[in-house]
Amino acid sequence: QMQLVESGGGVVQPGRSLRLSCAASGFTFSRSAMHWVRQAPGKGLEWVAVIAYDGVNIYYAESVKGRFTISRDNSKNTLYLQMNNLRTEDTAVYYCARISKEYLAAVPLDCWGQGTLVSVSS
Amino acid sequence: IQLTQSPSSLSASVGDRVTITCRASQVIGSYLAWYQQKPGKAPNLLIYDASTLHSGVPSRFSGSGSGTDFTLTISSLQPEDFATYHCQHLNSYFLTFGGGTKVEIK
């Protein structure tokens, strides 16, 4: 069955960096566009970034643009989120999620990871 | 595009019919999905394209609407349905979600 497993979360001071990973299995990772979505404690879901199957087309939410970088390694079936210059408002559970299309498309997120918690605090 | 869900929370009993609404700030056709999220867990897809039931989702869940107004209905609430429900605008990028509706036990 399809599975996504995030890792790399933790406690970090404001201004520091962190890299999240998302390991995929049970489906052809190289044929799926991938998203990162986050959820601050007690809050709703906020979209962060998306990357197409080949890593060419990438988009970011305005709140993270210029600080976060999404990337993927199809040979390792792994998605990444490099987070630089972290702010307290970046504190959230970060989920990776896939769509069933190679290219960016208006289709649902049909598989989500269990999430990894990032806590930004001094 | 902003999505406004109502109510933000509700209390209901097992067997009740429950309706949650999601209103879009612009016309979005049928590009809407619904997710269920239980505490400490990731969201799970329930419905997409406003009314299409995702594989494996019980038939007591249904979705309707188009344009700007959408509803999620649970025809007979079951114990495992107590959770938070999120709507989402289906888009290639710049995805948006509603604020969520928490369904609690009365």
Taking only the tens place, the pLDDT of each residue in B39-97 is: 999 999 999 999 999 999 999 999 999 999 999 999 999 999 999 999 999 999 999 99
Most B CBs within 10 A among A56, A64, A109, hence the mutation to make, goes to A109
Mean pLDDT, all residues of chain A: 97
* Distance between CA atoms of residues A39 and A95, nearest Å: 8
Q: Is the CB of B48 inside 8 Å of chain A's CB atoms? A: yes
Which of B 69-98 lie inside 8 A of A, CB atoms? Answer: 86, 88, 90-98
pLDDT at B83: 97
**Do residues A115 and A6 touch, judged by C-beta distance below 8 A?**
yes
Q: Is the CB of A40 inside 8 Å of chain B's CB atoms? A: no
pLDDT at A37 > cutoff 90: yes
* Distance between CA atoms of residues A38 and A62, nearest Å: 14
**Do residues A97 and A24 touch, judged by C-beta distance below 8 A?**
no
Whether residues B88 and A109 touch (CB distance < 8 A) is answered with yes
How far B15 CA sits from the closest chain A CA (Å)? 27
pLDDT at B84: 98
DSSP summary character for residue B16: -
How confident is the model over A63-102, as pLDDT tens digits?
999 999 999 999 999 999 999 999 999 999 999 999 998 9
How far A85 CA sits from the closest chain B CA (Å)? 22
Q: Which residues of A fall within a CB distance of 8 Å from B100?
A: 44-45
**Do residues A80 and A18 touch, judged by C-beta distance below 8 A?**
no
DSSP summary character for residue A103: S
Q: Are strands B61-66 and B3-6 parallel, antiparallel or unpaired?
A: unpaired
Most B CBs within 10 A among A1, A27, A45, A64, hence the mutation to make, goes to A45
Could you tell me where the DSSP H helices lie in chain B? none
Q: Which residues of A fall within a CB distance of 8 Å from B31?
A: 106
Q: Is the CB of A42 inside 8 Å of chain B's CB atoms? A: no
Q: Which residue, among A87, A89, A69, has the nearest Cα to A79 in the 3D structure?
A: A69
Which residues, 6+ apart, have CB-to-CB distance to B46 below 8 Å?
B33, B34, B35, B36, B53, B54, B57, B61, B63, B72, B85
pLDDT at B4 > cutoff 90: yes
Q: Is the CB of A59 inside 8 Å of chain B's CB atoms? A: yes
Chain A, chain B: beta-carbon pairs less than 8 Å apart: 55
- Residue A17 has φ and ψ, to the nearest 5°, of -120, 160
pLDDT at B106: 86
- Give strand pairing partners of A27: none
pLDDT at A52: 96
